[in-house]
């Protein structure tokens, strides 16, 4: 009896995963990004794609990250991959940095407090096809 009920639960979970709507598709969506400094390098991270670039300045980090994300999306389209590759679970460290920076931006907006987080920039890269 235990195995039968477990199989039903697993089957329901798989159905949900296969039919759930993804935020990012091959035609539209956005990816959260961070650009931050660590020691002498700047890093750009596309959270849902799990792409990380390391460069010498924040402008290059944004440019290279944008190019990498665009290339990733084009490759996914060309290979006709399923949307889950565009909706990956981000690394916990970057997710925490993202959330901390968003909280800080909100706090600054309403309280005008300057924070000392090492993040240079963050936002969303629109992925709409033109």
Q: Report whether pLDDT(95) > 80.
A: yes
pTM reported for the whole predicted model: 0.68
Mean model confidence pLDDT for the chain: 82
What phi and psi, each to the nearest 5 degrees, are found at residue 77? -65, -45
CATH number for the segment(s) 23-126: 3.30.160
Strands 41-46 and 51-55, by their bridges, are antiparallel
- The dihedral region occupied by 89, where left means phi > 0, alpha psi between -120 and 50, and beta the remainder, is beta
The predicted pLDDT at position 54 comes to: 98
Residue boundaries of the structural domains of the chain: 23-126
Mean pLDDT across the stretch 30-39? 96
Q: Which residue has the higher pLDDT, 43 or 107?
A: 43
Q: Report whether pLDDT(71) > 80.
A: yes
């Amino acid at each position: 009896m235990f195995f039968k009920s477990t199989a039903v639960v697993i089957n329901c979970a798989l159905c949900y995963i296969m039919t759930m709507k993804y935020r990012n598709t091959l035609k539209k969506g956005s990816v959260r990004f961070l650009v931050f400094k660590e020691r002498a390098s700047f890093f750009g991270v596309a959270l849902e794609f799990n792409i990380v670039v390391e460069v010498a300045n924040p402008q290059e980090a944004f440019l290279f990250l944008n190019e990498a994300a665009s290339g990733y999306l084009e490759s996914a389209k060309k290979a006709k991959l399923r949307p889950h590759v565009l909706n990956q679970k981000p690394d916990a460290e970057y997710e925490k940095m993202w959330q901390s920076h968003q909280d800080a931006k909100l706090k600054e907006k309403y309280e005008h407090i300057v924070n000392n987080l090492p993040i240079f920039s963050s936002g969303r890269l629109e992925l709409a096809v033109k």
